[in-house]
Amino acid sequence: MRSTKLGDHLVSFEQELSDKLGISGVTYRHQLTKDQLFQAAIANDRGRTRAGGPDDDRKAFATKLGIEGPLVYYTDPSCTGRPVNDTFAVAWPEINDRVWWKDSLQAYDPDAYEGLFRRVIEHVNARRPTLYVQEVYAGTDPSYSVPYRFVGEYATHAMFAHNMFPKQVAGVTDEAEKRWTMLNVPSFRCEPERDGSLSDRAVIIDFRNRVCLVVGRADYCGVTKKTIFTVMNYLLPEQGLLPMHCAANSGASDDSAILFGLSGTGKTTLSADPNRKLIGDDETGWTDTGISNFEDGCYAKLIDLDKEAEPVIAAALSMKGTIIENVPPLPGKALEDTDPQELDLTDRTITENTRFSYPLSCNPNVADGARGDHPQTIVLLTADAFGVLPPVSILEGRDVMYHFVQGFTAKLAGTEVGVTEPKATFSACFGGPFMSHRPSVYAKLLHQQMEKHRARCVLLNTGWSGGPAGCVPRISIRNTRAMLDASLRGDLHSSGIECVEHPVFHLKVPKHCPDVDATILDARAAWTDKADYDAKAEELRNMFRENFAKNDFERFGVEPVL
Q: For the chain, what's the residue count?
A: 562
Catalytic positions, written as ranges = 82, 226, 245, 263, 267-268, 282, 355
Residues 6+ apart with CB under 8 A from 53: 77
Burial-class residue 491 by CB neighbours within 10 Å (0-12, 13-18, 19+): middle
Q: How far is CA 509 from CA 42, 466, 513, 535, in A?
A: 55, 16, 10, 20
Cα separation of the two ends of the chain = 59
Report how far residue 434's alpha carbon sits from residue 359's, in angstroms, rounded to the nearest whole number: 22
233 and 434 Cβ atoms separated by less than 8 Å: yes
Exposure on the CB side of residue 229, measured as CA atoms within 13 A? 25
Report how far residue 41's alpha carbon sits from residue 183's, in angstroms, rounded to the nearest whole number: 17
User: What 3-state class would DSSP assign to 465?
Assistant: coil
SS3 string, 54-104, reads CCCEECEEECCCHHHCCEEECCCCCCCCCCHHHEEEECCHHHHCCCCCECC
Pure H helices in 391-434: 398-406
Residue type, 322: T
User: What 3-state class would DSSP assign to 122?
Assistant: helix
Report how far residue 335's alpha carbon sits from residue 64's, in angstroms, rounded to the nearest whole number: 7
b/e string for 155-178 if b means 16 or more Cβ within 10 A?
Answer: bbbbbbbbbbbbeebeebeeeeeb
Report how far residue 298's alpha carbon sits from residue 164's, in angstroms, rounded to the nearest whole number: 6
How wide is the angle at C-alpha 136 spanned by C-alphas 130 and 139, nearest 5°?
150
Helix then strand then coil, in percent of the chain rounded to 5, is 30, 25, 45
Pure H helices in 149-306: 155-164, 175-178, 192-195, 222-238, 267-271
243 and 236 Cβ atoms separated by less than 8 Å: yes
Taking phi over 0 as left and psi of -120 to 50 as alpha, with beta for the rest, 430 belongs to: left
Report how far residue 462's alpha carbon sits from residue 520's, in angstroms, rounded to the nearest whole number: 12
**DSSP 8-state assignment for residue 328:** P
Report how far residue 80's alpha carbon sits from residue 74's, in angstroms, rounded to the nearest whole number: 9
